[in-house]
Amino acid sequence: MLKLAAIVGPTAIGKTEVSLIVAQKLKGEIISCDSMQIYKGMDIGTAKVGEEERKKVVHHMIDIVDPEVNYSVADYQKKVKELIRDINSRGRLPILVGGTGLYYQAVVDDYKFFPMPSKDEVRRRLEEMVNEKGLSWAYEYLKTVDPDYAALISSNDQKRIIRALEVYYLTGKPFSRFQTRDVSCYNLAAVGLYLERDELYRRIDQRVEEMIAKGLIEEVYALFKKGYDPSLNSMQALGYKQVWYYLSGFLTYEEMLREIKRETRHYAKRQYTWFKKDKRIMWINVKDYPSSAILAQKICAYIAGQLYKA
């Protein structure tokens, strides 16, 4: 079986830093498992690894499409499956790193994506209802009819929320029922990183402040100057939507900061909830290790023990 390692967990937990060390020690190549890092020009808000780090460790699935491209999870899965085969064929270890649960699951469990029915009239009506009642209403409704799929996606992901509700209205069945899984075709070693809630929230707040200081507002402004519509799926990424509201005068600076921090905390909670369902993941409390280097040693030992057993 093809080997595959994974380092997952919520945003701001420290996956990027430790994964760089692990990849160098295990002769690995990193495959980003982040639904927003695929977009070009969205660097600060998605916390992409820097150019210098990419020179040290090969990274895949970063900066592959422009923000207006509708890049689906099926597209991601297809490309990553090719990468995993290629990296293994060269005697190196593919390491899936990120926090997008749906993308992770689609790869490790080889989701089968079947064509879903679509009807313009139903979709238009759903879009009208979202405009009338708000996206939060639509997400709450999705949670009642398809809690499994709702747990996998962002409450801001209008495209996927409407699509799931459309399938439910047309078939009477939850969208998640149509995403079948196979037994993983990989020899998998998956590690999950976690922290106590208060410490994680402190890190999230700190990261948001750092992103603003690095130029997130300027980055968002540059994107919209290029003509990217705020309704694009890429523009629903954490931070980008709130900064757009600020630039448009709908939020004050302080309100923008609060909204980004609040939404990021909610997202981290959803990430935990989802990944905790996967019993194959070995969880590590980041707080138990005084440095990323020592944490990386623990992760390397676990992965090597799982994938390179005598």
| Residue 100 annotated as part of some ligand binding site | no
| Residue 13 annotated as part of some ligand binding site | yes
| Residue 172 annotated as part of some ligand binding site | no
Token pair for residue 86?
Answer: 């290629």
| Residue 14 annotated as part of some ligand binding site | yes
**Distance (Å, rounded) from C-alpha 126 to C-alpha 135?**
10
| Residue 12 annotated as part of some ligand binding site | yes
Work out the number of other CB atoms within 10 angstroms of the CB of residue 194.
19
| Residue 174 annotated as part of some ligand binding site | no
Token pair for residue 299?
Answer: 């992760």
| Residue 15 annotated as part of some ligand binding site | yes
- The half-sphere exposure of 205 on its side-chain side, counting CA atoms within 13 A, is 7
| Residue 16 annotated as part of some ligand binding site | yes
Please enumerate, by residue number, every residue annotated as part of a binding site for ATP: 9-16
Please enumerate, by residue number, every residue annotated as part of a binding site for substrate: 11-16
Please enumerate, by residue number, every residue annotated as part of a binding site: 9-16
